[in-house]
Structures are given as C-alpha cells and as structure tokens.
Structure 1
C-alpha cells in the first residue's frame, strides 16, 4: 500500500470517526445517551456532564478542523509545522484516551471505545508522519 493511500485512508477514517464522536457527544448532551456511559462512569451530575461534554465537542471539532486542513478540504493558511505539531498532540491525546478507556468502569466504553481511540491514535500518527499537509485531498 502506498504512502498516499495510507494517508488517504487515515484521513477519511479520522474524519468519519471524529464526526461520529461529535454526534455521540451531542446525543449525550440531549440525554438520548445516558451520561453514565462516558467518562469512565465518573461524572457525578448533569452540570458536570454539560461542562465535560461541551469541552469534548469543542476538542473534537478542533481535531476535525486539523484533519480537514491537513487534507486540504478546509482552506486555512496555517503553517505545516503547526498542523504537524497538532497532529502529534492528537496522537498523544488519543494514546492517553485509549489507556483511559481501557481502564474504564463502563464495559461499553472499555470494549467499544478502546479500539476506536486506538484507531484514531494510529491515524494521527500516520498523518503526523506524512510528508506535508494538503497531500491527501478529500475530493
């Protein structure tokens, strides 16, 4: 498999998963999904859930923007070094998140989200190591 193909797969996979995460967190905010199903089952009340979920949605939207800029789908003039640094930070965050999911008290979070966040970590690694942003056009 070529580098360009791997980068394209990582880009599309991350865009899909991150978009689904935003949707999932919106479902938690609206109460359709109970907040006990996230954050390791450690959230104490609705107020705490609102804070955590709002931050989570913002972070996921920022990560979606970073991947979109890297792919050339979002036309923003940002240094390649800044995008690559952001992708490395995302890699580190997803590794930590994977560990957190693996240690979760919630079985669904442990079984479903551990491999998903690991996939996001690997996707971030692939994009961070790719030659230059805008190389994996989304069109």
Structure 2
C-alpha cells in the first residue's frame, strides 16, 4: 500500500470517527457506553467529546500536510513527530481496548490497530522514499 493510499484510508476513518463523536454530542449514541463508562454528566461528555473532535481534526490536518494536499502551516519535521506520537497513542489505545470493560469498546481494538498500521505505512513509506531520493541524487 502506498503512503498516499494509507493517508486516504486514514482520512476516511477519521471522518467516520468525528461523525461518531458528533453523534455522541447530539445524544444519538449514549455517552454511558463510551469512555469506559467513566463519564457521569453531560458537561464531562461535552469536554471529552470536544477534545476528541479537535484531536481528530488535528490529525486530519497533519495527514493533509503530509500528503501535500494543504499548505504546511507547521514544518514537515513536526508533522512527522506528530505522526510518531499518534502511532504510539494508537498502539497504546489498541492495548487498552483489548482490556476494555465493555464489548462495545473492545470492537475498537481492530479500529485502533488498523489506524496504527496505516500510520506506520505512512511513516515507513516516507522513510523509504527519502532513502531512494538520496541514492538517486
């Protein structure tokens, strides 16, 4: 899989995650079945969901910069560092979801594993393409 394809798949996944979080904010999906059942009030839900949506939008922006579909507003070195951080977070989240209390959250184990794999592909393909360019130069 190419880096460009991995980015496109990842963006579609992120859009669906954002829509999921919006459905929680709109109370289409009950927040009691998310966040490990730790949210107790609407106020907590709005804070957690807002942060989640912002983080997912940030990752979308990072991926769009990486694919050069939008102008870089932060240096590419920072984009790559952010992707490595997201890779670590997705791996840790995959492990956490394996031990989740609810089956609903355990389903997201596969989702976070795929996300981690896609980011790995994006980072590895970029590194390999960079090596090829250095060899040719």
Q: Same fold (TM over 0.5)?
A: yes
Gaps of 5+ in 1: none
Q: Kindly tell me the number of residue pairs found equivalent between the two proteins.
A: 128
Higher relative contact order, chain-length normalized (CA < 8 Å, sep 6+): 1
Which deviations, in whole Å up to 9, do the C-alpha atoms of 1:6-53 show, x marking residues without a partner?
A: 312211111000111111000000100110221122212211111111
Match of 1:81 in 2: 77
Is residue 116 from structure 1 mapped to residue 111 from structure 2 by the alignment? yes
Could you list the per-position Cα deviations for residues 67-120 of structure 1 after superposition, in whole angstroms to 9, with x for gaps in the alignment?
Answer: 111011122243221111011001011111112222221211212x11011111
SS of aligned partner of 1:99:
helix
Looking at structure 2, the residues matched to 129 and 78 of structure 1 have their Cα atoms a distance apart, in angstroms, of 21
Matched, 1:37 2:39: no
Q: 1:130: Cα distance to partner?
A: 2.8
Conserved 8 A contact 1:99-1:114: yes
Larger Rg: 2
Deviates more, 1:23-32 or 1:77-86: 77-86
- Structure 2, unaligned stretches of length 5 or more? 131-137
Task: Give me the whole-angstrom Cα distance separating, in 1, the residues matched to 2:61 and 2:87.
Answer: 15
Q: How high is the TM-score relative to the length of structure 1?
A: 0.84
- Contact 1:41 1:104 (8 Å CA) reproduced: no
Runs of 4+ in 1 over 4 A off after TM superposition: none
Structure with more helix by fraction? 2
TM-score normalised by structure 2 residue count: 0.86
In 2, are the aligned partners of 1:10 and 1:126 still within 8 Å (CA)?
A: yes
